[in-house]
A and B are shown apart, each in its own frame.
Chain A
Amino acid sequence: QKEVEQDPGPLSVPEGAIVSLNCTYSNSAFQYFMWYRQYSRKGPELLMYTYSSGNKEDGRFTAQVDKSSKYISLFIRDSQPSDSATYLCAMRTLGSARQLTFGSGTQLTVLP
């Protein structure tokens, strides 16, 4: 079993839809949770960063962490065609600043 599970999709939604992307994990020591966005033929770039449990909002994006359920989510409101990309969840433990464990990524297409 993988340490981090992510639904690979692909996910296709109409413009303006609310998108929910999710990851589950098994290592209860994970404390830092991130979402990276990767456009086609590009490297991943950090989108959201959350420490421990709770919600974090940045514009149209909201990251949620539920440590009791070992479940994290990324919500995209009013989705735009420019949001079409692969979204990767990533996490690491408190003592391991060097290593991230990634999900397999969800490919999202927002149709105009």
Chain B
Amino acid sequence: DVKVTQSSRYLVKRTGEKVFLECVQDMDHENMFWYRQDPGLGLRLIYFSYDVKMKEKGDIPEGYSVSREKKERFSLILESASTNQTSMYLCASSKPGQGVNTEAFFGQGTRLTVV
């Protein structure tokens, strides 16, 4: 059974803290993504990576950074957490190329609250 695992389901952090969200996939996928999901706004892409040590900005990268040191692991870093970063964070992975076998598989999500 394919799996994308996010390290935490729920997190509460204080404003100004550095926050690490971890994601691991066991499908040997090249592509990995971080999204945030907010009511009425859907899923918005923060960063993605198509190879180890490679990263590209998505639509809303401000206030975030990422790290991909190994193929299976993609980390999202909030350098200095702020209350407007309170959200559901979703990690996904996929194979490159075209076609249905490149579908994105999602983790369970991390609900982050910044107080």
Contacts and interface: CB of A to CB of B under 8 A. Distances in A.
User: What range describes how many residues of A lie at the interface?
Assistant: 20 to 34
B42 A97 contact: no
Interface stretch (B12-20, B43-51, B66-74): B43-51
Residue among A6, A32, A43, A49 with max Cβ neighbours from chain B (10 Å): A43
A44 B90 contact: yes
A88 B44 CA distance: 12
Helix, strand, loop or mixed for chain A's interface? loop
Contacts, number: 58
A90 B94 CA distance: 15
A104 B40 CA distance: 6
User: What range describes how many residues of B lie at the interface?
Assistant: 20 to 34
A48 B31 CA distance: 21
Interface string A34-72: 100000011111100101000000000000000000000
A49 B103 contact: yes
Contacts of A102: 35, 42-44
B107 A43 contact: yes
A32 B103 CA distance: 11
Contacts of A94: 98
